[in-house]
Structure 1
Amino acid sequence: MNSKILIMNIKVMLIACVLFTSYTVSAQTKVNSLEELFPYLQQDGVEVVLKPGTYTITTEDIRNGKFKSETDIDKHKALVLLLFSGNSSTYDFTDVNLHVETKVLTVYGDYDEFYEIQVTGNNNVIKNLTMADVGSVNDYPKRRACNIVMDGANNRIEGFHISTKGSYPYGYGEAFGKGGKNVIPHYKHSAFLVRGYKNHVKNCTIIHRSYGHALFMQAADKPLIEGCYIEGTMRSSDDMLAEAGTGSDADKVNFMTYFDYKLPKGYMMSLGEGGIRAYNGGETVIDGVEYIRGTSNPTILNCTVKNMRAGVTLTHATGTKYVSGTTVIGCERGFCIGSGDIVDSYADTQYGPALGVDYITDSGMSAEITLLPYEGKSYNGSGHAAIIIGSNHKITLKSANPNPDQNLKINIGGDNRTIGLLAKDENYSASNILLHNLTKYPVVLDDNSSNCKGITAGKVLDEGQNNHLFFKEILKD
């Protein structure tokens, strides 16, 4: 090949590279409004940036049919404001604020569900959106609402900041009902539902001011929740009881809970539900196929949950359950996973136990949790620093609290005195528990405990059978 041909070929290659580079750069599409955004939500392989600014969705938008997207999964019809149904696309909402008026919850029509965002496609990345429900905490959906629902496979929602508001009743937590049975009818509004396959929630913040779950999983296989911050609000049962004579919702039912007894004093309750929660049922759609199943193989990494009914609850998930680097602060209960691993995680005991187990059939949990100090009064009505029932658990409790409340106990077996179980005569069994209690919280081995062993830096009361838990003074470095 002579030099002229060689030079010509090089020029052709350079031109091709320039054209390819230009094409790649121009492939990013910038849109200036939600109306311009809508068509791209259904497309594959697009890269879309919405112009920074504040976009507000009003009741008039709903009445005028501006938002017409809907989905129907297992005969549950949902109205969706923004439906991401395309595949392999990226949507960048940096410096975008999406405001949804809470009045919208009251006018969305004859649907079973209302979603602000739903993803049904695959391999999408949606990032950096700030979305807020704007209005009253007392505006509520006719049935159920959720800010975000993830279906499909291998999607990632990253860098969102979500402020959830609007449910009924708000201000009592679960005291007057949470499911089918209730004293006061409930209209819930959750923040973030993860379904589908290998969906990933990363570095998202949820500020939760609604009765409903903050981040929960249904019909999800291999979900990954990473780097998220979740914050609810607490209220004491004493403060609720102070509504006597005011004509409030609680006053009208004479503070009779759905547990069939009057609301007790001395408990701190979240006004929301679960911080991070997995369910053993649900429906999802992947590639147009509907699946009815539970949650399996969840992973929770480096999250923080504050002021929720429960921090991380994975009891009803199956398969491999893994929690690492996660902190739970000021919740009614910290961690409860039934089986699986909790590694290098943290919780306090101010409003409830740092660790719990739901069922005596739960077995094989391995947990390493550091118990944190807290400021202010303890409002832990349960009396537990931890409650451990079931069998074959390996638990290490470390201490970052030099002066733990000696009225709080690490209970192995026995009662589980949450606000919802006070009327029951409980005595849950525990067996083959290995406990390394490196805190100074006292340990109570209930008379229904057996074959438990380990060491404790706190006092021990052994009323069980064949237990061998030895006191060991923990020396400071």
Structure 2
Amino acid sequence: MQSNQNRFKITVFKKSIFFLMLLIFPSLKSQAQTEVNSLKALLPYLDDDHVNVKLKSGVYTITAKDIQNGDFSSATVVKNRANVLFLFSGNNSVYDFTDVTINVSTEVLSAFPSKNEELYEMQIIGNKNILKNLTIADVGSVNNAPTRRATNIVMDGTNNRIEGFHITTKGSYPYGYGEAFGKGGKSVINHRKHSSFLVRGYKNHAKNCTIIHRAYGHAMFMQAADWPIIEGCYIEGTMRSTDDMWTEKGTGSDADKVNFKTVFGYNLPKGYMLCLGEEGIRAYNGGETIIDGKQYRRGTSNPTIINCTIKNMRAGVTLTHATGKKYVEGTTAIGCQRGFCIGTGDIVDCYADTQYGPALGVDYPNDEGMKAEITLLPYDGESYNGSGHAAIIIGKNHKIILRNAVQNADQNLKINIGGDNKTIGNLKKDENYSASNIVLHNFTNYPVVLDANSKNNTGVSVGIVTDEGFNNHIFKITKPD
């Protein structure tokens, strides 16, 4: 009898351990990996739970003819007004695209019959999924624009991770001018944008992805995202000088047709370098997301950016319009119109140059409490920084450390505290912003200029200090302590 009781206790104990392990290691419940050998064979698995699917290595191509044949027409989120080539709606699944390339013809961007819907090449609306190691490229002309808008990758749902993707984005209208003739809700030339990667949902994670961005639109941006993480990503755009844009005068180009009158209300100024896309990493204070089949409208909150590199974009990281905890660490902005701008929050151990624009910016005078530590980097070639800013700091109660990696800083570029906040153009209404109670430790030899609208600012500077404000105490030092 005692022996039977012992065996029963051992059996119960083993079962308890097994179920405990399933709770701790949910992967034990997953199925063995299934390999499929075509895109059509992949589609039925996209709404499944607990599957582990590998697409056979190789190069796959999606053309306008595939859309016309209806091969991808079933993947449509009607409520979201978007056509989706690949819609991942299952949960707890793994999709392995190692050694897979999917080429999407840029003609696909306008191939769907509806003219009022967006195109998403991939969208996740399920939860706890992993997509990894895909190369996806738009192939064709940069001028093959979407009918309305397009985005390569969209993350909704919760706790999803996209890892190791290599994305080449191409196809928008017009391409070649950046923001000069249209941004936000206004435009001189009607834009049809194409962005690369949109993070929404809850606790979604983009990791170790590469984006080669050759379209007008954002490279990586967040809308209606709560606790998103962007980690280890490399983003690269293309720059063009406004002087080069003026060589189109008399050619009948899009810019020539509007007489180079910009969206800012004045003729395109020379002497600036503009990204042909938009932000490298950007957060919005609005948007919609899908979680568990329901749509939510909200802003972006609590974004984390870690160990990313952004090159030749309109900005490296802009989080001004996000709320909650904003955190950027170990991230580098190279050759951007602006390096970092987060309004409030923490910038830790980050890097930026000043070749085409300021390393640091602040958007609004009510932005408060930013802590930033940025090393200013040298750059090859001449400066094309029409704004004249090495950094522009407005608002209040910021604590900023600028470290030095530049031997001979361009003395024409200033660290401005208060005053002019422009990065392109000459509108008077962009000037004379206030700055107060800011602590600046400038360990670079870029000069510091305290505007007449600055007051109660303190700190030290290796660069020379010009003080036109009130009760400021930023002292010139020879070298950092």
**Residue deviations 1:321-364 (CA, integer Å, cap 9, x gap):** 00000000000000000000000000000000000000000000
What does residue 107 of structure 2 align with? Answer: 103
What does residue 152 of structure 2 align with? Answer: 147
What does residue 388 of structure 1 align with? Answer: 393
Aligned positions of 1:369-388 closer than 5 A: 369-388=374-393
Shift of 1:418: 1.6
Unaligned runs of 5+ in 1: 18-22
Amino acid at match of 2:174: P
Contact 1:383/1:407 (8 A) holds in 2: yes
Q: Secondary structure at the match of 2:244?
A: helix
Contact 1:209/1:271 (8 A) holds in 2: yes
1:254 aligns with 2:259: yes
Amino acid at match of 1:182: S
Shift of 1:72: 3.5
- Structure 2: distance between partners of 1:432 and 1:422: 27
Please give the TM-score of this superposition, normalised by the length of structure 2: 0.93
TM-aligned CA distance change 1:302 to 1:425, over 3 Å: closer
TM-aligned CA distance change 1:196 to 1:25, over 3 Å: closer
TM-aligned CA distance change 1:26 to 1:125, over 3 Å: closer
Alignment partner of 2:225 out of 220, 223, 228: 220
Shift of 1:178: 1.6
What does residue 71 of structure 1 align with? Answer: 77
Contact 1:261/1:423 (8 A) holds in 2: no
Alignment partner of 1:80 out of 81, 84, 93: 84
Please give the TM-score of this superposition, normalised by the length of structure 1: 0.94
Contact 2:51/2:94 (8 A) holds in 1: yes
**Residue deviations 1:104-126 (CA, integer Å, cap 9, x gap):** 11222214210000000000000
- Structure 2: distance between partners of 1:466 and 1:25: 65
1:321 aligns with 2:346: no
Alignment partner of 1:164 out of 164, 169, 186: 169
Give the aligned CA root-mean-square deviation in angstroms: 1.9
What does residue 67 of structure 2 align with? Answer: 62
- Structure 1: distance between partners of 2:379 and 2:122: 37
Shift of 1:423: 4.9
What does residue 359 of structure 1 align with? Answer: 364
1:339 aligns with 2:327: no
Shift of 1:260: 1.3
- Structure 2: distance between partners of 1:331 and 1:51: 38
What does residue 136 of structure 2 align with? Answer: 131
Count of matched residue pairs: 460
1:276 aligns with 2:281: yes
Amino acid at match of 2:58: G
What does residue 22 of structure 2 align with? Answer: none
Alignment partner of 1:292 out of 279, 294, 297: 297
Amino acid at match of 1:34: L
Contact 2:462/2:480 (8 A) holds in 1: no
- Structure 2: distance between partners of 1:43 and 1:250: 49
Alignment partner of 1:465 out of 457, 462, 470: 470
Amino acid at match of 2:214: R
- Structure 1: distance between partners of 2:338 and 2:480: 29
- Structure 2: distance between partners of 1:108 and 1:371: 47
Aligned positions of 1:189-208 closer than 5 A: 189-208=194-213
Shift of 1:400: 0.3
Unaligned runs of 5+ in 2: 19-27
Identity within the alignment, %: 71
- Structure 2: distance between partners of 1:277 and 1:475: 33
Shift of 1:417: 2.3
- Structure 1: distance between partners of 2:421 and 2:453: 13
Contact 1:153/1:286 (8 A) holds in 2: yes
- Structure 2: distance between partners of 1:238 and 1:278: 30
1:302 aligns with 2:303: no
Amino acid at match of 1:72: V
Q: Which runs of 4+ in 1 moved over 4 A?
A: 23-26
Q: Secondary structure at the match of 2:252?
A: coil
Contact 2:117/2:148 (8 A) holds in 1: yes
